[in-house]
Amino acid sequence: MEIVVKTFDQLGTDELYDLLQLRSEVFVVEQDCVYQDIDGKDRKALHVIGTKEGKVVGYTRCFAPGDYFEEAAIGRVVVKMSERKYGYGHNIMKASMQAIKKYYGTETIKLSAQQYLSKFYEAHGFQKVGEGYLEDGIPHIAMVTT
């Protein structure tokens, strides 16, 4: 998987379409969750895009401190179902954390994790903060790097 980091303005139309399609495929269809994915926040985000043979197979969006949470943030962490067996989720998380350090100068990152994935995020240095909560009907927990 090749990974690139782009601002919203650097995204091409086809690239934007492909990453939105992947987000919809996983977060709306696969997880059977009706929610507003296109939330107006993409314009502020760094987009970390993983491709394989020209197809978007992994993605996150990253935010500067104060743009989403008080801390820098990673969200919309997604890997195409057929590509999950290759460790691409770990690759895209490492690249996202490096992008936050490079572009925003911080290693403190917060995310809203689906609870069943908390061990995945713990493997990247995140720790649970507070109690779990429902977000769009799915159990989540806040997690932060220290």
Say how far apart CA 134 and CA 36 lie, in whole Å. Answer: 15
Q: Quick check: 146 pLDDT over 80? A: no
Q: Which architecture characterizes domain 2-105 according to CATH?
A: 3-Layer(aba) Sandwich (3.40)
Look over the chain and give the mean of its residue pLDDT values, rounded to a whole number: 95
Task: Indicate the pTM of the whole model.
Answer: 0.94
- Domain residues of the chain, as ranges? 2-105
> Could you tell me how far CA 60 lies from the centroid of its own chain?
3
pLDDT in tens, 40-52: 999 999 999 999 9
